[in-house]
């Protein structure tokens, strides 16, 4: 499984953009990059995923580096409800679709 | 779409008893489901891959005789914690996805407390 490196924690102010980085230098060529978030005492929630090109959905944008060794999750306008642990997970390919969770990034959003 | 329902949301049981947790895909069929366990202030740890109509695949270090997984239909997988002990107290979460290369949907989790 590809190893990932994410900051332990990040802080943001409400209504400001947030850029959550993730390094996955050992990613395989067929792995998709998935992002999930988890609120306390809840199951994780899917945020976004992509393979090579940048992706957008109603929740966030995903910017993938050209060499695919890193990616950035972008929350365009953080709200208090975005405060969660964010996990970046390369999967598919050699991991056969299994999700291996790292420690993630704890995002704190200040009002 | 792609809703996963998990039941119960919490359970308290006595040491030595067994507990069954259900995971249902409500609006899609899931040939594969995944079971995770999460201890306080830790990340999710994959326990096993549940395959419809065949045996589950357990991750290294997970006792298959203790954590029985049954995936008898395309919409239901169950995890039974047998002879539960206090150290089995944890947050158990299941997941599935609509199709290959889609995102995963997770259940809301089951908080198991063994007393």
Say what the pLDDT of residue A43 is.
Answer: 96
Q: Which residues of A touch B (CB under 8 A)?
A: 32, 34, 36, 38, 41-46, 48-49, 87, 92, 97-104
What's the CA gap between A2 and A23, in Å, rounded? Answer: 10
- Render pLDDT for A42-74 as a digit per residue (tens, 0 to 9): 999 999 999 998 999 999 999 999 999 999 999
User: B16 near B115, Cβ under 8 Å?
Assistant: no
Has residue A93 got a pLDDT over 80? no
Sequence-separated (6 or more) residues with CB below 8 Å from residue B11: B19, B21, B110, B111, B112, B113
What's the CA gap between A63 and A55, in Å, rounded? Answer: 7
Say what the pLDDT of residue B70 is.
Answer: 93
In tens digits, what is the pLDDT along chain B, a chain of 115 residues? Answer: 789 999 999 999 999 999 999 999 999 998 899 999 999 999 999 999 998 888 999 999 999 999 999 998 999 999 999 999 999 999 999 999 888 778 899 999 999 999 9
User: A23 near A16, Cβ under 8 Å?
Assistant: no
Please judge whether A43 and B104 are an interchain contact, meaning their C-beta atoms are less than 8 angstroms apart.
no
Say what the pLDDT of residue B3 is.
Answer: 93
Has residue A92 got a pLDDT over 80? no
User: A76 near A17, Cβ under 8 Å?
Assistant: yes
Q: Exposed (0-12), middle (13-18) or buried (19+): which is B51, by Cβ within 10 Å?
A: middle
Question: Which residues in chain A have Cβ-Cβ distances shorter than 8 Å to B107?
Answer: 43
Average pLDDT, chain A: 93
DSSP 3-state assignment of B52? Answer: coil
Say what the pLDDT of residue A1 is.
Answer: 67
Question: Which residues in chain A have Cβ-Cβ distances shorter than 8 Å to B101?
Answer: 32, 92
Q: How far is CA B102 from CA A14, A51, B1, B2, B88, in A?
A: 30, 11, 12, 10, 31
DSSP 3-state assignment of A80? Answer: helix
């Amino acid at each position: 499984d590809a190893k990932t490196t994410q900051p332990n924690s990040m802080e943001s102010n409400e209504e400001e953009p947030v850029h959550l980085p993730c390094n996955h230098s050992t990613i395989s060529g067929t792995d998709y990059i998935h992002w999930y978030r988890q609120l306390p005492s809840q199951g994780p929630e899917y945020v976004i995923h992509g393979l090579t090109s940048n992706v957008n959905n109603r929740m966030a944008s995903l910017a993938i580096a050209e060499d695919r060794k890193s990616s950035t999750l972008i929350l365009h306008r953080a709200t208090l409800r975005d405060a969660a642990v964010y996990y970046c997970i390369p999967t598919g390919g050699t991991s056969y679709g299994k999700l291996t969770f790292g420690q993630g990034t704890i995002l704190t959003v200040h009002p | 779409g792609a809703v996963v329902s998990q039941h119960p949301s919490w359970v308290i049981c006595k040491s030595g008893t067994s507990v069954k947790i259900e995971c249902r895909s409500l609006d899609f069929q899931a040939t594969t489901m995944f079971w995770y366990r999460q201890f306080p202030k830790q990340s999710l740890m994959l326990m096993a891959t549940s395959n419809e109509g065949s045996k589950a695949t357990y991750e290294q270090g997970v006792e298959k005789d203790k954590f029985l997984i049954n995936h008898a239909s395309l919409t239901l997988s169950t995890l039974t914690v047998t002879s539960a002990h206090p150290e089995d107290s944890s947050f158990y979460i299941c997941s599935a996805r609509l199709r290959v290369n889609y995102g995963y949907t997770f259940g809301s989790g089951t908080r198991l407390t063994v007393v």
